[in-house]
Structure 1
Amino acid sequence: MNRYIAGLDRIIVLVIGVALLAAGGYIIAWDAGVKLIRTWVSRLDRHRLLGIPEEDWWHWVLTGTFVVCVVVGLGLLSLNLQRRRTRAVELQHNESGTDVSVDLGPVASGVASELGQLPGVRNTKSRATVDRGLPTLSIVVTADPGIDVVDFTARAERIAASVRRNLDGSDIAVQVLLHLDRVDAVQ
């Protein structure tokens, strides 16, 4: 998720929360018999207020509100569920001082193939995404249930440290998720 989308989500939640707090406060004040609230309500034209749903335009207002809410809701949902693909990472070569552009997709594939060579690993899947604004190499490893998890973790951490060291000068996260096959699936 992108920082801007997260900020937009928080603003929308804040506005809805403040509106619900105001409505709740109004209802509590009405129930408590606060004179100011009762005076405001007594000034309303009840006949006109209760006649609004019978107006010709009321149906169109409700339909428009429904359509706008569905479109905005689906738009926000798609923005929140969309995985961001990484752009090429710019590195500076130490010896020559030139800029080098590195595509992280093949780097993720290389890390996955290296993890695939470890004992007990059956399958690997890789992708390069942006997670909370940080380019992330995400590798999902499926392994035998009897794998030595401590040894696998140590080797995976060494591989991740090597990748970060080789991509020096850029903030990159390496995420390795280990999924173990079911014991009865092995037999």
Structure 2
Amino acid sequence: MNRGPAAWHRITVGLIGFLLLLVGTAAVLWRTDVAPVHEWVNRIDQGWAARTADTAWWPVLLGAVVVVAMIWGWRLIATTIRPGKVDDLLLDGSDLSGTLTVAPKLIASAVGEDLARAPALDRVVARATDDRGRKIIRLTVTAQPSHGYAEIASVVGDAVEDIREAVDGADIHVQAFVHLQNRTG
């Protein structure tokens, strides 16, 4: 999960956990007749809810709490709908404004298709992802052990350099992972 949404989820869970811990501890201390807590709970006015509901400011406060809860909840839901989606890149291009908009997933799929044609590679996965606030095009290749690392690295290295040249100046990183299968027999 990205850095921002992960922090938002952690803050939410931490806040709810802290409130539940506080209420639970107070309930246990009250039930066990611990002196200061038992006295504090017994001093709570039980008619406050009825009196508060009749005030003019209560509906405004309740409305504000509902709005904050809806915004908070929507942000939590929205962060789980599209995790890792990378926005389009703006590159120097040939339109009237001098920019070109390209989807990183299209770059990744084109490079993946090109690498899949290499006879030394068994499997190629190319993805565009957003990993904790960093836009990344990630190449993962698998090869048989009969091919040397230098051979595989040469093919993958050329693809990485092609991507870097194509997205020069854009805020995107390129990663390549090489998996050499174990020798059998």
TM range (shorter): 0.5 to 0.7
Q: Which whole-Å deviations, capped at 9, do the CAs of 1:10-39 have from their partners, x for residues lacking one? A: 221221232244246547866997521132
Matches of 2:140 and 2:159 in 1, distance apart? Answer: 14
Matches of 1:24 and 1:118 in 2, distance apart? Answer: 62
- The 5-angstrom pairing of residues 165-180 of structure 1 reads 165-180=165-180
Contact 2:84–2:131 (CA<8 Å) still a contact in 1? yes
Contact 2:121–2:152 (CA<8 Å) still a contact in 1? no
Identity of aligned residues (%): 29
- The 5-angstrom pairing of residues 100-139 of structure 1 reads 100-116=100-116, 118=118, 120-139=120-139
Contact 1:126–1:140 (CA<8 Å) still a contact in 2? yes
Q: Which whole-Å deviations, capped at 9, do the CAs of 1:57-83 have from their partners, x for residues lacking one? A: xxxxxxxxxxxxxxxx9x958943744
Matches of 1:76 and 1:145 in 2, distance apart? Answer: 45
Matches of 2:127 and 2:149 in 1, distance apart? Answer: 23
Matches of 1:104 and 1:160 in 2, distance apart? Answer: 14
Contact 2:116–2:124 (CA<8 Å) still a contact in 1? yes
The runs of 4+ residues in structure 1 deviating greater than 6 Å are 30-33
Amino acid at match of 1:164: R
Q: Which whole-Å deviations, capped at 9, do the CAs of 1:95-152 have from their partners, x for residues lacking one? A: x982122232332123224433556311213232333333322333222134433553
Q: Could you tell me the TM-score, scaled by structure 2's length? A: 0.59
Q: Given the superposition, is the C-alpha separation of residues 158 and 24 from structure 1 closer, same or farther in structure 2, using an over 3 Å criterion?
A: farther
**Residue 108 of structure 2 aligns to a residue in which SS?**
helix
Matches of 2:144 and 2:32 in 1, distance apart? Answer: 64
Amino acid at match of 2:169: G
Q: Could you tell me the TM-score, scaled by structure 1's length? A: 0.58
Matches of 2:82 and 2:146 in 1, distance apart? Answer: 35
**Residue 39 of structure 2 aligns to a residue in which SS?**
helix
How many residues of Structure 1 are paired with residues of Structure 2 in the alignment?
157
**Residue equivalent to 2:38:** 38
Contact 1:86–1:130 (CA<8 Å) still a contact in 2? yes
Matches of 2:10 and 2:77 in 1, distance apart? Answer: 14
**Residue equivalent to 1:159:** 159
Unaligned runs of 5+ in 1: 45-72
**Residue 168 of structure 1 aligns to a residue in which SS?**
coil
Amino acid at match of 1:148: G
**Residue 145 of structure 2 aligns to a residue in which SS?**
coil
